Structures are given as C-alpha cells and as structure tokens.
Amino acid sequence: MYAQLKLELEADDIDYKKSSNLQGILMENIDTEYAGILHGNQLNPYSQCLIRENGKNIWCIKTLTEEAYEQIIQPMSEVKSVVFKKSGRDVGVTKWQMDRCEERELLDEFYDTSCPKYLDIQFMSPTAFKQDGRYVIYPDLRLIYGSLMRKYSAVSGELDMIDEDLLNQLTDHSSITRYRLQTILFPMEKTNITGFVGNISIRVHGPETLARYVRLLLRFGEFSGVGIKTGMGMGAMRYNRREPK
C-alpha cells in the first residue's frame, strides 16, 4: 500500500530549504528502533518534502509499504506541532489530509486503461541523480526510469522492474519534447546540492505497452520521489494527467 499524509504548517516563511530539518523531526516522532533500521537502508520505504500549495506550506510524508505506513504515517498523523531544534521554533499543524493507494490499483490501470503517448512530469522539489560518482542535475530519462524501477522493485510484491532490457526499451523509445526547468540549490547541514525543478513532457514512441510502463512508474514516483535524497526532501514529483481529447 502507498500512502500520503499532508500536514499544513502554520507558517508562511518556511520553504523547501527546511526539508532536511523536517526529516530529523520525523525521526524524532517515530519508534527509535525503526528509525535505526531506516538509517541503514539503501532504498527507503518513504519520502518527504515541503511544498507550497494554494498559498499554504504543506509537509508531505509518503510511504511505500504497510509497515512504513504503520511506523511513520500513523504516528505523524497525531502530531500537533513541529519543533525546529536549532531555532527553538514551534510551528503548529492546522490541517491533516490522508490519501492511500493500493499497488493493485496501479497494476489494474496498467492492464486495463489506455495510455496517451505524451506524459507530463512536474519536479516539485530540487531533483538530482548520481552517476559514476558525480551529480547529474538535468532530467536524463534513463536515470529517471532507472531510479523509479529500482525503488518500485524494492517494495513491490507483484512486479520486478529490475530489467535492463525494459530500461533500454523505455529509454530508446522516449524523448523529452518540452521542458521548463531551472537549477536550484538544496541546502544540507554542511553543503549544498544543485538540483532542478520545473516541468517536462515526454513522448513515448512505439507500442502503447511502453507508455503504460512509464505511466506506472510515474504514478509510483508520486509516492517514492525520484533520484537522490528523497527522504531528505529532494526529488518530489507529480505526474500531471492529460485529459482525453
């Protein structure tokens, strides 16, 4: 099961630059033993980010497994305020919203619902990848698909997406047709990472099945995030559905 908890924060002057602080706050509010397990994971079963939505600051916490939902979202749904230790500031939570989605729902859509060849992605928080020890600060489709395939396979009980042939097909039959992007710094405790935010449109060439695979990955990515440091607030993305003509 995939889940999302949105916490509306009672502060207008907090932005994505506080995302890594929010990860620390999250860890302080969950079971200590489970927090230790998360620190040792290569691929975490959660992501979190701070976004601006309808003039409000929204802390989004997303989980990818039933266990992560019970250990993270359930306790965080009872939080009434968040305390930033460095400044001592206590910020109230004014609204809570929960959304859930079963993995089967995404698979049923894959098998039963036609898919357009054009798909749109919005990168909502600074996004970056790491390849051969270096940061990649632009939307490379192979890196996007590969990141989402690894995250999906790590938590899926029904479909293994670690498939080099499929990754090659998706990459070879996709192209970015439009983009509106900017680079932006994501601050961490002792350094900054450059990432990108904005929008891209992808066209999938060839069989519709390939477009369905891309849609499945993008819908999953709304919960997992894409690229590096999604647990710290990077890589938040949204799949923008196109209405049928």
* Owner of token pair 């992605």: 121
State CA 108 to chain mean position distance: 21
**CA–CA distance, 181 with 109 (Å, rounded to integer):** 29
Q: What is the pTM (predicted TM-score) of this model?
A: 0.94
Task: List the single range of 136-140, 157-161, 220-224 with lowest mean pLDDT.
Answer: 157-161
Are 136 and 226 contained in the same domain?
A: yes
Q: Are residues 69 and 93 in the same domain?
A: yes
Residues 60 and 129 in one domain: no
Q: How many structural domains is the chain composed of?
A: 2
Average pLDDT, the chain: 93
Per-residue confidence (pLDDT) for residue 156, from 0 to 100: 87
Q: What average pLDDT does the segment 197-219 reach?
A: 97
- Residue 245: inside a domain, yes or no? no
Q: Scan for tokens 């996007």, then name that residue.
A: 144
pLDDT tens readout for residues 20-49: 889 999 999 999 999 999 988 878 999 999
Domain C-terminal end among 101, 119, 136:
101
Sheet-wide strand order for 46-53: 46-53, 56-63, 2-9, 89-101, 81-84
Residue 222 and residue 143 in one domain: yes
Is residue 97 situated within a structural domain? yes
Quick one: 181 and 157 in the same domain? yes
The 8 Å CB, 24+ separation contacts for 14-17 are 14/50, 14/57, 14/91, 15/50, 15/52, 15/57, 16/49, 16/50, 16/51, 16/125, 16/126, 16/186, 16/233, 17/186, 17/187
Say if 182 falls within a structural domain. yes
- The CATH number that applies at residue 153 is 3.30.70.1900
Return the amino acid letter for 55.
G
* pLDDT tens per residue, range 115-136: 999 999 999 999 999 999 999 9
**Domain assignment of residue 125, yes or no:** yes
Cα-Cα-Cα-Cα dihedral sign, residues 78, 220, 232, 196: negative
CA distance 63 to 61: 7
Domain boundary among 101, 133, 159: 101
Instruction: Say yes or no: 92 and 134 in one domain.
Output: no
Asked whether residue 209 falls in the same domain as residue 117, the answer is yes
Pick from 147, 100, 106: which is nearest to 123 by CA? 147
Q: What is the CATH number of the domain that holds 31?
A: 3.30.70.1890
- Same domain, yes or no: 133 and 222: yes
13 or 175, which is more confident? 175
In sequence order, the 6+-apart residues with CB closer than 8 A to the CB of 133 are none
The answer to whether residue 30 is domain-embedded is: yes
pLDDT for 211: 97
Q: Which range (138-147, 158-167, 177-186, 210-219) has the least confidence? A: 158-167
197 & 230 share domain: yes
pLDDT in tens, 169-179: 999 999 999 99
Same domain, 94 and 124: no
108 and 205 fall within a common domain: yes
CA–CA gap between residue 8 and residue 97 (Å, rounded): 9
Q: Are strands 89-101 and 2-9 parallel, antiparallel or unpaired?
A: antiparallel
Stretch among 26-30, 97-101, 185-189, 241-245 having the lowest mean pLDDT: 241-245
The pLDDT of residue 244? 53
Q: What is the pLDDT of residue 218?
A: 98
At which of 53, 78, 101 does a domain end? 101
